Amino acid sequence: MPSKLIIWGASGHARVVADIIRVAGAYEIAGFLDDQHPENAGKSFEGSTILGGRECLRAQRERGVTHLIVAFGHCAGRLDAALFAVSQGLTLATAIHPSAVIASSAHIGIGTVIAANAVVNPHASIGQSVIINTSASIDHDCVIQDGVHIAPGVRASGRVWVGEASWIGVGATIVDGRTIGHRTIIGAGAVVVDDIPSDVVAYGVPARVIRRNE
């Protein structure tokens, strides 16, 4: 029998993760968590039930749920939620869509989601609780640190380094060997040709720092 798994999140990205979990077939979905809307506890969602918020995790563990995956976009919040789940005795699951292409030498951290048609090429290192979204491409020797969200259609060339809890927007391109700092947001469609520091928002072609990321 598949292990029982909770999906932490109950919005659009959680729908995507639920589909990946079901297609891959490694886990049985025991339900969803929604901290943002406690009034939704008990409601149906994506063929299962919203169980409540984080306060119910310990009881779910006692009922035989062993795994959890965090399925919402906020990068720092995703890392915090993963740490809390582990503190409640749950094991972080990894979700990889069967259509994704993952090189045998790539490293994929626990709690990470890799969506349909994504590519992770040789010797890339993907951290924990990362999102590699639909049709994104991570090329050889890239380092994607914990909690990063790589949005749909992103193209990261070889030897790119992206710091913890950064967000790379839809369709952005990062040229070979560039570094993006921690907690930085790169806007949709940006072309990153220079290094981008931590804690900023940058966008445009070429990408330029616009403001601090407060």
Phi and psi at 84, nearest 5°, equal -65, -45
**Options 13, 140, 149, 182, the catalytic residue:** 140
Contacts of 63 (CB under 8 A, 6+ apart): none
182 labelled catalytic: no
Active site residues: 140
